[in-house]
Amino acid sequence: MSTDIATTIENVLTRECPGVHVTSVRPLDKGYTSKQWVAATDQGPLLVKAPQRDPDPEHLRRLVASARVAAEHGIPVVRYRRLVPHEPALGGPLLIQEYQEGDAAGDVWESLGEDRRLVLVQDLGDIIGRLHAIVGPHFGDVLGGGKALSLRESVEAEVAALLPRADPGQIGDAGALRSAIAAAVGRLEPSANVPALTHGDLWLPNFLVRDGRISCVLDFEHATYAERFRDFGKLDEHIFDAFPAGRDVFLTSYAAACPLPDDWERRVDLGHVLHALNMHVYFLRWSPQWAPQYAEQVRTWLAGRS
């Protein structure tokens, strides 16, 4: 790391966190969407993040607000110290937060035996269930953006925003997909259509492990008040498709914290197609080679409704 960058990070911390004494700065090679540095200070280690993919300060305000709501309800998250909307020396916004010790679950997962994996998925079920038990005042983000008064309105707006950005040659008949998703929403029990705090990016790299247990949930940048089972799209893809033995353990722990409605499997099915459509559009922008596999999931889902 260059001396100039280390000095910049030290100067930012001294300015934004009065009274903090920085003793060293090192780069942290973690994450996919930001540059990160860890500063050793007399107030404990601090993490400085410079987002690269979405440098909109409003996006970061939503992230911080979502994590604070989760923390208020006992979810183990990091504590944010400061949001700098624009740091001229780095050409964008910065987040300053506490640095949590621990290993990313994604880094240790492959080395674990089944028993230790089952402990982690049991922890996940409890934490995510407690997260989903947090009820919001509307569908949309914590600060009120994308506000919708019903699940139908929220999903219709989401699909309407995604379809023009999708590759029509890959996903197939957009009109048929729109109609099938609307019909799937219509089959849900209205009384269970409750906006819950969802994380939006639940996969192993976003959980820290300490002493063999989940100790912290990271990166609430995609959090929103939504249909809670949409979080199961990424969970199933990245954890339980490869570790099916853990799903019942997870569900038992989850249901103890946030009971399952009678139509939960229909809700998971809807969550899967919305996840696939979102990932298709996301990867078209950032890594187009991965977009076709999610388009295939969308087409497969739609074919099952014909």
Residue 3 lies in a domain: no
Burial class (CB in 10 A: 0-12, 13-18, 19+), 63: buried
How many structural domains comprise the chain? 2
Model pTM score: 0.94
Longest Cα separation, the chain: 64
Look at residue 31 in the predicted model and tell me its pLDDT: 65
34 or 160, greater pLDDT? 160
Same domain assignment for residues 131 and 206: yes
Cβ-Cβ contacts under 8 Å for 136 (sequence gap 6 or more)? 142, 195, 196, 197, 225
Where residue 19 sits, what CATH number does that domain have? 3.30.200.20
Report yes or no on 213 lying in a domain: yes
In this structure, the answer to whether residues 163 and 223 fall within a common structural domain is: yes
Q: Are residues 67 and 131 in the same domain?
A: no
Q: Look at residue 183 and tell me if it is in a domain.
A: yes
Q: Is residue 84 part of a domain?
A: yes
Are 246 and 145 in a shared domain? Answer: yes
- Structural domain contains residue 286: yes
Amino acid at 198: T
Q: What is the pLDDT of residue 56?
A: 86
The pLDDT, as a whole number, for residue 1 is 53
Closest CA to 248 of 150, 105, 118: 118
Tens of pLDDT, residues 59-118: 899 999 999 999 999 999 999 999 999 999 888 999 999 999 999 999 999 999 999 999
**Residue pLDDT, tens place only, 141-185:** 999 999 999 999 999 999 999 999 999 999 999 999 999 999 999
Are both 249 and 118 inside the same structural domain? yes
Residue 278, domain member (yes or no): yes
Q: What is the pLDDT of residue 112?
A: 98
Residue 6 lies in a domain: no
**What domain range is 121 assigned to?**
103-303
Confidence label for 213 from pLDDT (cuts 50, 70 and 90): very high
Between CA 257 and CA 259, with CA 258 as vertex, the angle to 5 degrees is: 115
* Same domain, yes or no: 90 and 111: no
